[in-house]
């Protein structure tokens, strides 16, 4: 790779001395507060730094300091959660703390632009996991012992590369490459450049790392501290495919533009007219829960639309402004023929053929047998307009829609279906733009 590209990428990805001093000061202050508060609890064994701060792989634009509070493994789950939250709130009280949710709740605060997380975990032996956070301290120990200084810098470059190109983050909203996945890739492959070379030639279901097990996912990345765990399972096929395409282009072009924000927001009118947006409000809850629900809703509704004869090309789902969400659908066309052909069994299947004729004869405009001897019935569709069908599905048949139960009460309060070319919230506009435009970074031909 070009040395000037690497030099400039390091300037973007590696924190300078001023940034390091600021973060170190906050980290030491908060650690002292958490340690002092934890000493009052008999069920707490110790307190540790974790995450990218402890592993020295954090990047300047988004800084999180993770502090793990280790509990005795005999601690009951209820006490684990209650005391964990109490330690977080008591130690961070002057920084306006709030609760976030993963498998278990944890406490977060923002201190001068630096995110601080106080996370409970159990003091257990490797492999005896009781909570999702238990692996984290082992991850920290492993990476701290096995990463060289240049590998840490390359992890930072990889993180920046993925963030700029929209593929970074383990949250359900993103389903991208997490910080630990970035660390694991560089640990296995040795450098940022080697990661890109591997991605450019990646085969479907290829394994990075070693495991006695087989895994079914587009990309398999074995957790270095748990050979039975596939880190790649959480990364969506969209993000894997994008990384493959963008890696190929970057290795060809070697341009710093791949590390710079792309601010263009285009909405092609022709495609916008064939886009429907379902807007609604939801009762406030954790981002991961909401995104899990709206992604399932979007996917299920797409299936229903396709069954009804409307060809959905792409869909998306976003949550924004704390209590608003939108489901987006791009159609080949919003209107389809009023006629549909229903195919029945072969005439040689006497019982099934008679049944098909009896059920469909009154609805048929025309019946015939095709060249394979199968019965055909030409009928009028129930719906030839996607917007009308979508409205009726959500309003009158929500139980059959596949919309998760947790969202149904939100929809029952009210929803609005609009076209992609109508006036929309800025967040929705960005999603429409993303849905309707080609990513030149991934699909460049030069």
pLDDT tens for 341-371 read 999 999 999 999 999 999 999 999 999 999 9
Dihedral-angle region of residue 166 (phi above 0 means left; psi in -120 to 50 means alpha; beta otherwise): left
Asked if 292 and 369 sit in the same domain, the reply is no
User: What does each of the 446 residues of the chain score in pLDDT, given as a tens digit?
Assistant: 777 898 899 999 999 999 999 999 999 999 999 999 999 999 999 999 999 999 999 999 889 999 999 999 999 999 999 999 999 999 999 999 999 887 788 999 999 999 999 999 999 999 999 998 999 999 999 999 999 999 999 999 999 999 999 999 999 999 999 999 999 999 999 999 999 999 999 999 999 999 999 999 999 999 999 999 999 999 999 999 999 999 999 999 989 999 988 777 899 999 999 999 999 999 988 888 999 999 999 999 999 999 999 999 999 999 999 999 999 999 999 999 999 999 999 999 999 999 999 999 999 999 999 999 999 999 999 999 999 999 999 999 999 999 999 999 999 999 999 999 999 999 999 999 999 999 989 997 76
Question: How many angstroms separate the CA atoms of 228 and 222, rounded?
Answer: 7
Asked if 301 and 427 sit in the same domain, the reply is yes
Q: Confirm whether 287 is domain-assigned.
A: yes
Task: State which residues form the domain around 399.
Answer: 269-335+384-441
Distances (CA, A) of 123 to 72, 120, 179: 6, 10, 23
Asked if 125 and 154 sit in the same domain, the reply is no
Provide the 3-class DSSP secondary structure of residue 108: strand
Q: Which residues contact 20 (CB under 8 A, 6 or more apart)?
A: none
When divided into structural domains, the chain yields a total of 4
Give, as one character, the DSSP assignment of residue 223.
Answer: E
Q: Confirm whether 68 is domain-assigned.
A: yes
Question: How many angstroms separate the CA atoms of 313 and 318, rounded?
Answer: 17
Which helix (H) or strand (E) covers residue 59, if one does? none
Tokens of 101: 């949710």
**Residue 222 CB coordination number (10 Å):** 21
Give, as one character, the DSSP assignment of residue 66.
Answer: E
Asked if 218 and 157 sit in the same domain, the reply is yes
pTM of the model as a whole: 0.91
Q: Confirm whether 6 is domain-assigned.
A: no
Provide the CATH number for the domain around residue 153. Answer: 1.10.1410.30
Q: Which residues contact 358 (CB under 8 A, 6 or more apart)?
A: none
Strand arrangement of the beta sheet that strand 312-320 belongs to: 312-320, 324-331, 275-281, 415-419
Per the CB < 8 A criterion, the answer to whether 161 and 258 are in contact is: yes
């Amino acid at each position: 790779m070009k040395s000037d590209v690497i030099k400039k990428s390091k300037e973007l990805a590696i924190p300078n001395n001023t940034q390091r001093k600021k973060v170190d000061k906050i980290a030491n202050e908060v650690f002292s507060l958490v340690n002092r508060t934890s000493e009052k609890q008999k069920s707490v064994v110790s307190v540790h730094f974790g995450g990218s701060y402890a592993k020295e792989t954090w990047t300047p634009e988004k800084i999180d300091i993770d502090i793990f509070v280790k509990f005795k493994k005999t601690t009951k789950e209820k006490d684990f959660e209650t005391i964990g939250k109490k330690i977080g709130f008591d130690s961070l009280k002057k920084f306006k703390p709030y609760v976030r949710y993963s498998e278990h709740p944890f406490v977060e605060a923002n201190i001068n632009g630096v995110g601080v997380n106080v996370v409970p975990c159990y003091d257990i032996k490797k492999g005896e996991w009781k909570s999702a956070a238990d692996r984290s301290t082992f991850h920290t120990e492993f990476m701290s012992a096995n990463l060289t200084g240049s590998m840490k810098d390359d992890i930072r470059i990889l993180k920046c590369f993925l963030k700029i190109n929209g593929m970074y983050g383990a949250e359900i909203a993103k389903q991208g490459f997490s910080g630990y996945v970035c660390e694991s890739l560089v640990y296995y492959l040795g450098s940022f450049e080697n990661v890109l070379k591997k991605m450019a030639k990646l085969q479907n279901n290829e394994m990075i790392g070693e495991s006695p097990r087989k895994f079914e996912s587009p990309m398999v990345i074995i957790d270095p501290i748990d050979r039975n765990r596939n880190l790649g399972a959480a990364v969506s096929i969209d993000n894997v495919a994008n990384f493959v395409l963008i890696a190929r282009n970057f290795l060809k072009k070697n341009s710093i533009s791949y590390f710079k924000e792309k601010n263009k927001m285009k909405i092609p009118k022709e495609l916008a007219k064939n886009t429907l947006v379902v807007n609604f409000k939801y009762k406030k809850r954790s981002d991961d829960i909401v995104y899990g629900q709206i992604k399932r809703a979007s996917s299920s509704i797409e299936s229903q639309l396709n069954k009804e004869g409307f060809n959905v090309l792409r869909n998306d789902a976003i949550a924004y402004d704390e209590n608003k969400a939108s489901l987006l659908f791009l159609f080949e066309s919003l209107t389809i023929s009023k006629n549909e052909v229903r195919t029945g069994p072969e005439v040689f299947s006497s019982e099934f053929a008679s049944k098909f004729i009896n059920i469909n004869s009154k609805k048929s405009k025309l019946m015939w047998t095709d060249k394979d001897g199968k019965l055909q019935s030409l009928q009028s569709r129930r719906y030839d307009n996607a917007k009308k069908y979508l409205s009726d599905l959500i309003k009158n048949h929500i139980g059959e829609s596949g919309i998760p139960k947790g969202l149904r009460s939100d929809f029952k309060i009210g929803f609005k279906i609009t076209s992609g070319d109508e006036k929309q919230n800025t967040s929705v506009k960005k999603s429409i733009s993303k849905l309707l435009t080609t990513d030149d970074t991934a699909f460049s031909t030069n």
